[in-house]
Amino acid sequence: MPAPEAVRVAIQRDADIVAARQRGREMATAAGISGSDLTLIATAISEVARNILAYAREGEILLSVESRDGRCCLQVIAADEGPGIADVELAMRDGYSTGKSLGLGLPGARRLMDEFDIVSAAGAGTRITMRKWAR
Ligand SMILES: Nc1ncnc2c1ncn2[C@@H]1O[C@H](COP(=O)(O)OP(=O)(O)O)[C@@H](O)[C@H]1O
Ligand SMILES: [Mg+2]
């Protein structure tokens, strides 16, 4: 059975994070990604999904295989309609947290993926788009 072109995982509870990680691995494999990159992707997905639960309560992870100039990537979009982030630059710094956690989730995800873009504003929800390219 061929892999689907896009998968949506609703994020509403802890078990959904596990599902998003697993589907991310499957979709990444379909994009031609292998080895330790699968673990890096699963970790990045965990972090943004955990943030959805912690700060927005619910949202979704959209996974798709994209291609450009004959190369494939896994694209991960994490979207929610929660409170948003007033100062995105601050939130992207190592160690910044409004919760009681380490503040390494967003900057960590950025380092683990090849591309990372975040659009967020207070009251306007958060949308993160990340990509990892097949080598
Ligand atoms: N989806 C989100 N909605 C609202 N705020 C968020 C979201 N994701 C992250 N944040 C904010 O950015 C901060 C940094 O996130 P992160 O780097 O994952 O660290 P941590 O989750 O440990 O606090 C969070 O403390 C929170 O204030
Ligand atoms: Mg976090």
Mean pLDDT of 99-108: 96
Distance 4 CA to ligand 2 centre (A): 29
The predicted structure's pLDDT at residue 5: 82
In the predicted model, is pLDDT for residue 2 greater than 90? no
pTM of the predicted model as reported, rounded to 2 decimal places: 0.97
Q: Hey, which of 97, 110, 113 would you mutate to test ligand 1's pocket, going by the most ligand atoms within 8 Å of its Cβ?
A: 97
Residue % of the chain over a pLDDT of 70? 98
Query: 62 phi and psi, to 5 degrees?
Result: -110, 125
The predicted structure's pLDDT at residue 30: 95
The predicted structure's pLDDT at residue 64: 98
Distance of alpha carbon 109 from alpha carbon 92, whole angstroms:
10
Q: How confident is the model at residue 135 (pLDDT cuts 50, 70, 90)?
A: very high
The predicted structure's pLDDT at residue 4: 74
The predicted structure's pLDDT at residue 104: 97
The residue assigned the tokens 């599902």 is 19
Non-local (6+) Cβ contacts of 105 within 8 A are: 47, 48, 50, 51
Tokens encoding 55 = 């700060």
Q: Hey, which of 53, 55, 61 would you mutate to test ligand 1's pocket, going by the most ligand atoms within 8 Å of its Cβ?
A: 55
In the predicted model, is pLDDT for residue 105 greater than 90? yes
Q: How confident is the model at residue 116 (pLDDT cuts 50, 70, 90)?
A: very high
Where do the domains of the chain lie, and which CATH numbers do they carry?
A: 6-133 (3.30.565.10)
Q: pLDDT digits over 40-92, tens only?
A: 999 999 999 999 999 999 999 999 999 999 999 999 999 999 999 999 999 99
Greatest CA separation for the chain: 44
